[in-house]
Amino acid sequence: MLKNYLKIAFKVLLRRKFFTFVSLFGISFTLVVLMVATAMLDHLFAPLPPEVNQDRTVSITRASMFGDRSSWSASAGYRLLDQYVRNLPGAERTSFFKSPDQVYSYPNGNKVRVFLKRTDGEFWRILRFDFIEGAPYTADDLESARLVAVITRTTRERLRLGQTAMGRTIEVDGQRFRVVGVVEDVPRLRVIPFAEMWAPYTTVKSDSYKAELLGEFNAIVLARDRAAIPGMQEELKSRLARAELPDPKSYKKLVAPLESTFDAMARTDLRTEDSHSERLWLMMAGGALLFMLLPTVNLINLNVSRIMERASEIGVRKAFGASSRTLVGQFIVENLVLTMVGGVVGFAASILVLRAISASGVVPYADFRLNYRIFLYGIALAVFFGVFSGVYPAWRMSRLNPVQALKGAAR
Amino acid sequence: MIRLEGIEKVYRTERIETVALANINLEVREGEFLSVMGPSGCGKSTLLNLIGLLDVPTSGKVHLDGRVVDSYQDKALARLRNRQIGFIFQTFHLIADLSVVDNVEIPLLYRRLPGSERRTQALAALDRVGLGSRVHHFPTQLSGGQQQRVAIARAIVGKPRILLADEPTGNLDSQMGQEIMAILKNLNTAEKTTVVMVTHDAQLAEQTTRILRLFDGRQVN
Amino acid sequence: MIRHYLKLIWNRRRSNLLITIEIFFSFLVVFGVVAMAAYYGNNYRRPLGFTIDDVWVVNIDAKLQGLPGNQPNPQGIIETGRQLRLAVVEFPEVRALASCFTVPYGNSRWMSTSKVGGREIAYSMDGVTDGFAEVFGLTLVQGRWFNRDDDAAGWDPVVVNEHLAADVFDTVNPVGRTFPQDKPSPGEKQKEWRVVGVIREFRQDGELALPENYLMIRVRLDDVESALSLGRLPIKVRPGTTAAFEERLVKRMQEVARDWSFEVEPAIDMREQKLRDTLTPLIAAGVIAGFLMLMVALGLTGVVWQSVTQRTREIGLRRAKGATIPDIRTQVMGELAVMATIAVLLGAAIVVQFPLLKLVGNVTAGVYAASLVISSLSIYLLTLASAWYPSRMATSVPPAEALHYE
């Protein structure tokens, strides 16, 4: 039975080549856009080395002080982290690091801009970077404020350091660093690990950072397990609530949310308890559905046309005993064949498009790829799309009166 | 076998009501060859569609073997159409995408028979109408008479109890028409298949066992 | 004749409805992209109010501890700043220099509001030193720019752009008048602002931004709080100055202020970044919209083709009754045009609500109307192009054959 459906499906699709082509074009184009968008979102949020333990890592990227008439937002300051974020219950490792600065180096009269991130030693033990040379600096280096640095492969190239940079000295931001390690490039959109060069934060030129409650620091905390995270968040909140603020007349409350990257991006107001990350999910899903609207209407139109064109065939089948269910089943098989073929074409096209986007350098160091997860999303989308665009036409078909269908007036 | 009781078929649009059939009471007996005659527009085809359960009456009842069937659900109706009834159309209505044998197999598709079984029965039906040598051709490659014969093979392959033919010779020349008539008569006498045929050709109608005349949707005696 | 065709369309409304819906959504998509492009395009044409030729921006990070008002050694910082500026001016490559809070194409924005006769007027502002006009090539249309004489004044001089002047002062010449400020909070002191000059325009975000109200206030670098808030040093260099000079400049500045950090960025790079940030989503949306329209055009072609095939007999009949080939073609394309008209009118009715309901701010009526017209025409073009080929196919079969078509 299925074999017959498939045989008819292929014959029909091949007979009306133009229709089939247009339907395939619509399906594969829609899938390409959705899959490329999904791949980019996956790149932003899904676990990707060096962020290997993303499910049990939370971070502080912003902090705020609120008063009656004013508010002040920035990243966390070193003092906030040092005083309140150390030794949280359930924390396996804690790391503090500065937001990257854009600094300049002038090798041989050329100007090279480098994103420099100053971190502690624990940074390298929470995030697993891919070292192609040497090793990271340690807590000891941090204590001694040694001018050592880790750079990326591309930075090594741009600074003309040749095949091996180990032990070489580079002058960046007016300071001379000794290279102790070289790592693979890190995608720009992975905010937590990203930089083009790393050095201990004690090498910063002035000590002023130590006194700041709000400043330029971030923190990541690797929890022992996921279950420990809510406890950590509560503890931090209560510690901050008891904090002594420098200007209590202007600012009464200090907040610094400890949460995942996704939640941090979904959060619009630092004061609320919950980041309402469902809102971000809903927006993304809503956006996808909105985009699919026009292609779906297009496909529905094509499907209805397809059915009306075969009205007399449908009439014949009904006259010889096909129930509406059987016919709808055949139609759905045809639609699914179309959708699956469109899906395959869409996949192939997505791979090419993603490669083109990665190569274009619009997003530096990006390597957008399809993985099995996105593949599954893609299949789900294709099926959803095929069903959605097939429901109404199938319903129309099942309501066809055999007599009228035979006359070809399938209204 | 089939009884129509107090049948009325009315087509309604917003402003106009067309009475296609009114006050039809008719019994089709098992094994007979019934012709339905009348001028164009008198409702012959509508009557045939009702007998063949392709359409439902506006009022009245259709009995099959003593049971009222006109109000059956789609699935039950489909089953009856598949097993008891075979339809032959004036314009053949063969599916151009499919070969002759694939066309003939269509009623068997809805009976869950294995492919080989379907094929055997289809070939037998084609043989019965004298087309055993053209089984893999496509409808567009056949003459009108041959296409109608394929349609007949399709209608009889499931061994229905009743054959309904709507102007089966209408699109054929007189010689081909006679050939088709011969096949139908043979099916009626040899296989005891009940046949109801709509025609406007008096000469053909006279070859049947009973003639029913319609005028303006009503029976005429 | 038209009524006959309209009746035909109405009778087939169920299948026509789906086509109309598809055209309606297409219109919305096209309008979205066209409106954005028109908005930016229209802004691009307008005067900028400044030039960035040979302008480099030095971003200074003075490593302050906490709020500017709470520094342990404010005089030291002021003095270092002064030495820094002296060192920079020494270079022959530097023609002019200024200090300010934010620069064109920069990422910070300072906004304020004032109440004027019951209305609240919003404006963006910047605190600048006297050299700002020379660095950015500002020309005044009324009054004068800041100068040293203002040091002695008991009020703060400000320069506004024409837009803000008109908003606050109407047709009255603003030069010499007090610029209204909101009442200060209790205990806070406030100095009078007096307008000394008017510039034509100043669009801080660059060519793609909407014209807005802008105000510049003169800042004195011997005042602690001002001196420390101004983190940027825009300089005008001689034409042809290379990146090699940049290195020397940074080295020298580093010598003067050992603890501070410096970053030099040519203003054209900042401009390019800003343009790229703003235009990339638009370009991506445009590409996607283009493909969507291609898909719709192909889809409509298929649907119209099928509809025409289904009506072969009707068409054969019409031709048998005297319709010419152009008549048939007009009928086919005309039916689609009617559906497009309905879709466009519906789309326009919805789209017009956005500015009326203030869902979209700051769009000029002219731009909106032009976008509406362009989108409508595009949709008509798309629809008629889709119908063109099937309408030709409709008349390819001779009438006699068409009448017998099954």
Q: What confidence tier does A388 reach under pLDDT thresholds 50, 70, 90?
A: confident
Task: Identify the burial level of C86 via C-beta atoms within 10 angstroms of its C-beta, where 0-12 means exposed, 13-18 middle and 19 or more buried.
Answer: exposed
Q: Angle formed by the axes of helices A324-360 and A311-319, to 10°?
A: 140
Asked whether the predicted pLDDT for residue C67 surpasses 70, the reply is no
Q: Which of C51, C30, C70 is nearest to C234 (CA)?
A: C51
B21 φψ region: left (φ > 0), alpha (ψ -120 to 50), beta (else): beta
Lowest mean pLDDT among A77-91, A223-237, B36-50, C272-286: B36-50
User: How far A24 CA sits from the closest chain C CA (Å)?
Assistant: 10
Look at the alpha carbons of B14, B18, B24, B26 in this order and tell me if their dihedral is positive or negative: negative
What pLDDT is stored for residue C404 in this prediction?
A: 60
**Residue owning tokens 């009315």:** B10
- Span A146-161, mean pLDDT? 93
What pLDDT is stored for residue A410 in this prediction?
A: 37
Whether B54 and A325 lie within 8 Å, measured CB to CB: no
Whether A319 and B74 lie within 8 Å, measured CB to CB: no
Q: What confidence tier does B173 reach under pLDDT thresholds 50, 70, 90?
A: confident
Of B52, B55, B78, the CB nearest to A322: B78
Q: Which residue stretches of A96-173 are H helix?
A: 123-126, 139-143, 153-158
Task: Identify the burial level of B158 via C-beta atoms within 10 angstroms of its C-beta, where 0-12 means exposed, 13-18 middle and 19 or more buried.
Answer: buried
Asked whether the predicted pLDDT for residue C260 surpasses 60, the reply is yes
Q: What confidence tier does B20 reach under pLDDT thresholds 50, 70, 90?
A: confident
Distance of CA B68 to the CA centre of its chain: 20
Substitution target from A320, A395, A404 for chain B, most B beta carbons within 10 A: A320
Beta pairing class for A101-105 and A91-98: unpaired
Asked whether the predicted pLDDT for residue A136 surpasses 90, the reply is yes
Beta pairing class for B194-198 and B33-37: parallel
Beta pairing class for A197-200 and A148-152: antiparallel
What pLDDT is stored for residue C152 in this prediction?
A: 86
What pLDDT is stored for residue B22 in this prediction?
A: 85
Of A102, A110, A301, the CB nearest to C22: A301
In whole angstroms, how far apart are CA C343 and each of B191, C17, C18, C382?
61, 10, 11, 13
Three-state DSSP class for A362?
coil
User: How far B132 CA sits from the closest chain A CA (Å)?
Assistant: 22
Two structure tokens written together for C395: 């008349």
Two structure tokens written together for C328: 């048939």
Domain parsing of chain C, residue ranges: 2-46+274-403
What subunits touch chain B, counting only 3 or more CB pairs under 8 A?
A: A
Mean pLDDT of chain B: 86
Two structure tokens written together for B209: 């066992």
Question: What's the CA gap between B60 and C41, in Å, rounded?
Answer: 72
Give pLDDT tens digits for A96-114. 999 998 888 888 878 888 9
**Residue owning tokens 């008209």:** C341
Q: Which of B110, B156, B95, B167 is nearest to B131 (CA)?
A: B156
Whether B93 and A321 lie within 8 Å, measured CB to CB: no
Higher pLDDT, B111 or B121: B121
Q: What confidence tier does C70 reach under pLDDT thresholds 50, 70, 90?
A: low
Give pLDDT tens digits for C287-296. 999 999 999 9
Task: Identify the burial level of A23 via C-beta atoms within 10 angstroms of its C-beta, where 0-12 means exposed, 13-18 middle and 19 or more buried.
Answer: buried
Asked whether the predicted pLDDT for residue C66 surpasses 80, the reply is no
Give pLDDT tens digits for C335-353. 889 899 999 999 999 988 8
What pLDDT is stored for residue A321 in this prediction?
A: 85
- Give the DSSP letter string of B13-32: -SS-EEEEEEEEEEEEPTT-
Asked whether the predicted pLDDT for residue B34 surpasses 70, the reply is yes
User: How far C326 CA sits from the closest chain A CA (Å)?
Assistant: 25
In chain B, the N- to C-terminal Cα span, in Å, equals 21
In whole angstroms, how far apart are CA B106 and each of A308, A375, A394, B111?
20, 39, 20, 10
Asked whether the predicted pLDDT for residue B161 surpasses 80, the reply is yes
Substitution target from B73, B77, B97 for chain A, most A beta carbons within 10 A: B97
Distance of CA B215 to the CA centre of its chain: 21
- Span C19-29, mean pLDDT? 94
Q: Element (H or E) spanning A217, and its range?
A: strand A217-223
Beta pairing class for C261-266 and C232-237: unpaired
Buried b / exposed e along A166-204 (16+ C-beta atoms within 10 A):
eeeebebbbbebbbbbbbebbbebbbbbbbbbbbbbbbb
Beta bridge partners of A113: A104
Express as a percent the part of chain B with pLDDT over 90: 11
Asked whether the predicted pLDDT for residue A272 surpasses 80, the reply is no
Two structure tokens written together for C293: 């329209």
Two structure tokens written together for C374: 């362009």
Higher pLDDT, C286 or A274: C286
User: How far B40 CA sits from the closest chain A CA (Å)?
Assistant: 16
- Give the DSSP letter string of chain B: -EEEEEEEEEEE-SS-EEEEEEEEEEEEPTT-EEEEE-STTSSHHHHHHHHTTSS--SEEEEEETTEE-TT--HHHHHHHHHHTEEEE-TT----TTS-HHHHHHHHHHTTT--HHHHHHHHHHHHHHTT-TT-TT--GGGS-HHHHHHHHHHHHHTT--SEEEEESTTTTS-HHHHHHHHHHHHHHHHHS--EEEEE-S-HHHHTTSSEEEEEETTEEE-
Express as a percent the part of chain B with pLDDT over 70: 99
Report the residue count for chain A: 411
- Residues C110 and C124: beta-carbon distance below 8 Å: yes
Residues with Cβ within 8 Å of C200's Cβ and at least 6 positions away in sequence, in order, are: C47, C49, C139, C141, C161, C162
Question: What's the CA gap between C142 and C137, in Å, rounded?
Answer: 15
User: How far C356 CA sits from the closest chain A CA (Å)?
Assistant: 23
Give pLDDT tens digits for A21-35. 988 998 999 999 989
Give pLDDT tens digits for A313-368. 888 888 888 888 888 888 888 888 888 899 899 999 999 999 998 888 778 888 88
Residues with Cβ within 8 Å of C63's Cβ and at least 6 positions away in sequence, in order, are: A205, A206, A208, A209, C259, C260, C261
Question: What's the CA gap between C137 and C236, in Å, rounded?
Answer: 10
- Span C84-96, mean pLDDT? 93
Express as a percent the part of chain C with pLDDT over 70: 92
What pLDDT is stored for residue B106 in this prediction?
A: 84
Residues with Cβ within 8 Å of B58's Cβ and at least 6 positions away in sequence, in order, are: B8, B9, B10
Residue A399, chain B, CB below 8 Å: the answer is no
Give pLDDT tens digits for A245-264. 877 777 888 889 898 888 88
Asked whether the predicted pLDDT for residue C96 surpasses 90, the reply is yes
C62 to chain A: nearest residue by CA? Answer: A206
- Residues A342 and A382: beta-carbon distance below 8 Å: yes
- Residues A85 and A94: beta-carbon distance below 8 Å: yes
Three-state DSSP class for C178?
strand
Mean pLDDT of chain C: 86
What pLDDT is stored for residue C403 in this prediction?
A: 66
In whole angstroms, how far apart are CA A227 and each of A260, A358, B116, C23?
14, 37, 62, 52
Residues with Cβ within 8 Å of B127's Cβ and at least 6 positions away in sequence, in order, are: none
Task: Identify the burial level of C33 via C-beta atoms within 10 angstroms of its C-beta, where 0-12 means exposed, 13-18 middle and 19 or more buried.
Answer: buried
Asked whether the predicted pLDDT for residue C243 surpasses 90, the reply is no
What pLDDT is stored for residue A326 in this prediction?
A: 81
C263 to chain A: nearest residue by CA? Answer: A103
What subunits touch chain C, counting only 3 or more CB pairs under 8 A?
A: A
A310 to chain B: nearest residue by CA? Answer: B95
- Give the DSSP letter string of A2-15: HHHHHHHHHHHHHH
Distance of CA C174 to the CA centre of its chain: 28
Question: What's the CA gap between C304 and B59, in Å, rounded?
Answer: 39
What pLDDT is stored for residue B218 in this prediction?
A: 81
Give pLDDT tens digits for C111-121. 888 888 888 88
Asked whether the predicted pLDDT for residue C314 surpasses 80, the reply is no
Give pLDDT tens digits for A32-78. 998 998 888 888 888 888 998 888 999 998 888 887 767 777 889 99
Dihedral in degrees, nearest 10, Cα atoms A221, A226, A231, A233: 50
C290 to chain A: nearest residue by CA? Answer: A29
- Span C169-193, mean pLDDT? 83
Q: Element (H or E) spanning C56, and its range?
A: strand C55-61
What pLDDT is stored for residue C295 in this prediction?
A: 92
Question: What's the CA gap between B199 and B186, in Å, rounded?
Answer: 18
What pLDDT is stored for residue C249 in this prediction?
A: 92
Residues with Cβ within 8 Å of C103's Cβ and at least 6 positions away in sequence, in order, are: C57, C232, C234, C267, C270
What pLDDT is stored for residue B73 in this prediction?
A: 80
Two structure tokens written together for B159: 């061994």
Lowest mean pLDDT among A37-46, A123-132, A139-148, C183-192: C183-192
Please provide residue C308's backbone torsions phi and psi, each rounded to the nearest 5 degrees.
-65, -40
A325 to chain B: nearest residue by CA? Answer: B75
Please provide residue C124's backbone torsions phi and psi, each rounded to the nearest 5 degrees.
-95, 155
Asked whether the predicted pLDDT for residue A411 surpasses 50, the reply is no
Whether A406 and B93 lie within 8 Å, measured CB to CB: yes
Three-state DSSP class for C200?
coil
Asked whether the predicted pLDDT for residue A409 surpasses 50, the reply is no
Q: Element (H or E) spanning C164, and its range?
A: helix C162-169
